């Protein structure tokens, strides 16, 4: 009974939209560039997913809180400034406390600034909704992104390196697939994943 | 007119608040980032010289065992780290004009007192393509350099050669992969740094 009631709450639907029906990767096809680049290991996928989730959450929250004060002519510039500030925070945090992850993610942490998901949620949701729902929406979109990234990484890492989270999972003598370590390998896996997940989520393109 | 003034005021406030945020972040993280970079450098140098240390004794062991010679090259501070026990010399490469295929490749190279024989090499920072040029950090690639000798009569004193090369020259290793330009970039980085540090080493009468 309680679950039925929860299904009709706004926050539940926001989370469902970010994770499933409006998933940024397999439905909206946003943020694919970094998804292809960093999904070659599970560790990178989790770190990048958490980074994007944090930036999307706080950026959406700030955009929502100040939406009545941001001039419409300057709104995109303002979003960029807010997003880049929090991206630099994530970058410095990783550099200070997780230097190994920072060096393995390389340039992609800084490129969260250009991730369409962050800007997309600010423009599509945060600018029209209260800050607490914007925070939940940012969380859901970031988690939706991380969910797909980790799924892809769970296939790519064993094939590319024979490991999952650094632990050997493939038998000795397994020939690693070099193509899975690089973006083209991610492209094939992501394509298959989008097909499977869209079928699961019953998200089909509408005929014109 | 009033509308434009309010836009200018908004941009000013946004810039001010953002600048404050950046200053705050710098205060919050810069010490720790510097400490991480120093720790990675000291750890690499001590490991190359087989010094026994732990994370808590590293800084003390470094200051008691390593002699640092300071120089200025083209306005940039550079250092030679000389181990008082082994007489090996370490230096940081990749900090001059040459860089990797995508980003800087910075590391530490330790060389014997003849300034030719490589003792060990470690990468501290790189931003090459993950899974391709990024393999420059892997020990299986770097271990090839151990024991090789720089041939300073050649244009490239160390050759990061084609894959499956005969690899029998005293200054030659196999490249990372045929599918990346990182190998040739790395060769240029080592060449540039080697000649600069060799001249510095000779300038102090060694």
Residue B18 lies in a domain: no
Q: What is the mean pLDDT of chain B?
A: 88
Confirm if A110 and A87 have CB atoms less than 8 A apart.
yes
- Give mean pLDDT, residues B110-137: 87
B164 pLDDT higher than 80: no
Confirm if B119 and B132 have CB atoms less than 8 A apart.
no
Could you give the CA distance from residue B67 to residue B71 in angstroms, rounded to a whole number? 13
Looking at per-residue pLDDT, the higher value among B80 and B126 belongs to B80
B146 pLDDT higher than 80: yes
- Give mean pLDDT, residues B172-188: 82
**Structural domain boundaries, residue B98:** 48-203
Taking residue B182's Cβ as centre, other Cβ atoms within 10 Å add up to 25
pLDDT of residue A34: 80
Partner B contacted by A99 (CB < 8 A): yes
Q: What is the least distance, in Å, from the CA of B76 to any CA of chain A?
A: 24
**Helices A116-124 and A42-65, axial angle in degrees (round to 10):** 30
Q: What is the least distance, in Å, from the CA of A184 to any CA of chain B?
A: 12
- Give mean pLDDT, residues B96-116: 91
Q: Is this complex scored with an ipTM above 0.90?
A: no
Partner B contacted by A178 (CB < 8 A): yes
Please list every residue in chain B whose beta carbon sits closer than 8 Å to the beta carbon of residue A69: 10
Instruction: Return per-residue pLDDT of chain A as tens, 208 residues.
Output: 566 777 778 888 888 888 887 888 888 788 888 888 888 889 888 988 999 999 999 999 999 999 888 888 888 999 999 999 999 999 999 999 988 888 777 667 887 888 888 898 888 889 999 999 999 999 999 999 999 999 999 999 999 888 998 888 888 888 888 888 888 888 899 889 888 888 887 767 666 5
pLDDT band (50, 70, 90) for residue B78: very high
Nearest CA in chain B to A184: B131
What burial letters (b/e) apply to A162-176, b meaning 16+ CB within 10 Å?
bbbeeeeeeeeeeee
What percent of chain B is modeled with pLDDT above 70?
Answer: 94
pLDDT of residue B158: 82
B20 pLDDT higher than 80: yes
A residues 137-156 closer than 8 Å to B (CB): none
Answering whether pTM is above 0.90, one says no
Looking at per-residue pLDDT, the higher value among B134 and A117 belongs to A117
Q: Report helix, strand or coil for B182.
A: helix
Q: What is the least distance, in Å, from the CA of A64 to any CA of chain B?
A: 15
How many CB pairs (< 8 A) connect A and B?
63
Could you give the CA distance from residue A154 to residue A169 in angstroms, rounded to a whole number? 11
Beta strands in chain B (DSSP E): 66-73, 76-83, 89-93, 106-111, 118-125, 159-161, 172-174
Cα dist from A59 to A66, A87, A146, A173, B154, whole Å: 11, 9, 17, 47, 55
- Give mean pLDDT, residues B67-87: 92
Residue B117 lies in a domain: yes
Task: Name the least confident of A167-181, B67-81, B185-199.
Answer: A167-181
DSSP category for residue B178: T
- Give mean pLDDT, residues B54-79: 91
Residue B189 lies in a domain: yes
Partner B contacted by A204 (CB < 8 A): no
B169 pLDDT higher than 80: no
Please list every residue in chain B whose beta carbon sits closer than 8 Å to the beta carbon of residue A160: 131
Number of domains in chain B: 1
For residue B151 the two structure tokens come to: 């041939």
B132 pLDDT higher than 80: no
Compare CB distances from A106 to B26, B28, B127 and report the shortest one's residue.
Answer: B127
pLDDT of residue A41: 87
Q: So where are chain A's domains?
A: 13-199
Taking residue A149's Cβ as centre, other Cβ atoms within 10 Å add up to 28
pLDDT of residue A141: 92
B165 pLDDT higher than 60: no
B34 pLDDT higher than 80: yes
Polymer length of chain B: 206
pLDDT of residue A207: 63
């Amino acid at each position: 009974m309680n679950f039925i009631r929860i299904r009709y709450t706004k926050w539940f639907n926001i989370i469902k939209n970010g994770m499933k029906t409006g998933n940024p990767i397999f439905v909206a096809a946003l943020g694919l560039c970094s998804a292809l680049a960093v999904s070659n290991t599970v560790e990178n996928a989790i770190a990048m997913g958490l980074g994007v989730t944090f930036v999307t959450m706080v950026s959406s929250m700030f955009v929502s809180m100040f939406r009545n004060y941001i001039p419409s002519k300057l709104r995109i510039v303002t979003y960029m400034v807010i997003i880049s500030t929090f991206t630099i925070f994530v970058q410095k945090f990783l550099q200070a406390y997780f230097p190994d992850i920072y060096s393995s993610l390389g340039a992609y942490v800084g490129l969260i600034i250009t991730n369409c998901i962050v800007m997309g949620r600010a423009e599509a949701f945060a600018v029209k909704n209260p800050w607490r729902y914007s925070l939940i929406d940012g969380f859901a979109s970031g988690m939706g992104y991380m969910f797909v990234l980790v799924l892809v990484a769970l296939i790519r890492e064993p094939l590319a390196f024979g490991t999952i989270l650094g632990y050997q999972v493939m038998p000795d003598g397994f020939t690693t697939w070099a193509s899975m370590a690089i973006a083209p390998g991610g492209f094939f896996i992501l394509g298959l994943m989008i097909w499977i997940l869209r079928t699961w989520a019953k998200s089909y393109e509408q005929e014109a | 007119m009033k509308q434009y003034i309010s836009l200018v005021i908004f941009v000013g406030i946004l810039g001010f608040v953002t600048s404050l945020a950046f200053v705050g972040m710098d205060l919050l993280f810069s010490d720790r980032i510097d400490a991480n970079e120093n720790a990675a450098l000291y750890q690499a140098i001590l490991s190359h010289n087989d010094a026994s240390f732990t994370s808590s004794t590293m800084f003390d062991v470094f200051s008691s065992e390593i002699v640092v010679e300071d120089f200025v090259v083209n306005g940039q501070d550079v250092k030679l780290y000389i181990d008082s026990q082994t007489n090996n010399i370490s230096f940081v490469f990749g900090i001059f004009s040459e860089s990797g295929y995508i980003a800087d490749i910075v590391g530490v190279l330790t060389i014997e007192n003849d300034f030719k024989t490589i003792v060990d090499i470690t990468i501290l920072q790189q931003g090459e393509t993950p899974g391709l040029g990024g393999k420059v950090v892997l020990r299986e690639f770097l271990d090839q350099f151990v024991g090789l000798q720089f041939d300073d009569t050649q244009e490239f004193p160390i050759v990061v050669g084609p894959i499956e090369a005969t690899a029998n020259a005293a200054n030659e290793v196999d490249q990372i992969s045929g599918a990346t330009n990182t190998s040739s970039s790395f060769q240029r980085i080592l060449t540039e740094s080697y000649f600069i540090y060799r001249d510095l080493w000779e300038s102090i009468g060694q």
